[in-house]
Amino acid sequence: MSIKRFITAIFISLILSGLGLIPQEPETWQVISLDLEHVPLRQLAGLGLDILMQKERRLYIVSSPQDRMRLGEAGLPFRPELAFSGRPAAVSSSAGGGLNGDYHSYSELEADLRALEAGHPGLAKVYDIGRSLEGRSLYALKISDNVGVSEPEAQVLFLGCHHAREWISVEVPFLLGEFLLINYLTDSRVRDIVDRSEVWLVPLVNPDGLEYSIHVYRYWRKNRRDNGDGSFGVDLNRNYGYEWGYDNSGSSPTPESAVYRGPAAFSERETAAVRDLFLRSNFQALVSYHSFSQVIYYPWGYSRQPVENAERMKGLAAGMAQHILEVAGTVYRQGQSSLLSYLTNGDTTDWAFGLYGIPAYTIELEPPSEGQGGFFNAESEIRPIFNDNLPAALTLIEDCISRYVPPVSENGRAGQARRLIAREARIR
């Protein structure tokens, strides 16, 4: 998305909000930047800032008035980059959908998942795996050749939209499901994958947040928990149980923070639904799609200590990055999350790897920077971004198929689930 189009969208949004057509966020938010030559990252630890990206020794942040006050009180200079309010969205005049154009809203996604199920009986089944805080269903799409039966096959899980503003992260897992179903009869590779595995997709982990980002405030990140102090939202990707609340650098105990981890591990209905799906399943790998920066992250996020016994996970990440490169020359970096980026604790991939020992990845989708579009991917970019990531997803599933060893018995799986629940209770 061009800078000109981005500014135009903001200008239109401000006019509409002035007319009362768009609900107002009660605070004035700004994108600000800090010069890392004068403000080292270690000085920002514990402030719970909503970091967009780091570019040319400047750190870009979505800041609330409280964030700017804390930075001022700490003597940390910053530069305003862009004042905004309302909804600076990337919607073209030819948009095929509603307010968010060709991107899915909650209701549109629900309808399209049901359409895939209806159009591919025996191969696709939609499961309601839980309800959000505001009562929206959390939908999982299962794809397999005998979809109504739990077979001894490799299972792989793809998640999208933990963070509300990351609209493209809904589209990639949805399009993966659509691709597998549409091409099942004509593509032998797809047919082999579907016949020999169970592919699970949860494209929208944070439906309440997504709706808020569409209708009220485009930069919204968290869910919509009322924290009781005038602030709203928990960062769902800081609410998982492994090393939850390990420190205040990788997540924040402050409710108003963009990385607020919640009052307890799995306090949120959305993360509890993902946890419970895991306990009913036997996943061999997980991918959680996010945006933006073109990176494939793997654990650890909570610590900069090297991850042990993870040669396969590292090799798969390198392979996925190579497959993405081969599509159209798009470069995705790959490596340990805490070493390539800032610390995170209580996130999805640390939990999946730390508790289950499976390869687990956060894939930060395109573009590489805020200046090249950031969260505001043009609608025309949806399909190319999916195309870039498709071979990586297929290869990951195939690797899990090739290594799959059936469990001794269903009782064995149930026993494993009980042990994991007990272990998580000890961690909490």
Residues labelled as active-site residues: 364
Q: Are 52 and 374 in contact (CB under 8 A)?
A: yes
Token pair listed for 400: 């899990």
Q: Are 163 and 129 in contact (CB under 8 A)?
A: no
Token pair listed for 312: 């396969």
Closest CA to 402 of 184, 192, 186: 192
Distance CA 127, CA 113 (A): 10
Return the axis-axis angle of helices 207-215 and 106-119, rounded to nearest 10°.
130
Token pair listed for 249: 């650098």
Task: Using alpha carbons, list the distances in angstroms from residue 49 to 60, 63, 65.
Answer: 10, 7, 12
Distance CA 112, CA 109 (A): 5
Closest CA to 164 of 117, 106, 119: 106
Helices (H), 307-347: 311-328, 337-340
Positions of E strands within 136-213: 137-143, 154-160, 197-202
> How open is the CA angle 195-197-201, to the nearest 5 degrees?
115
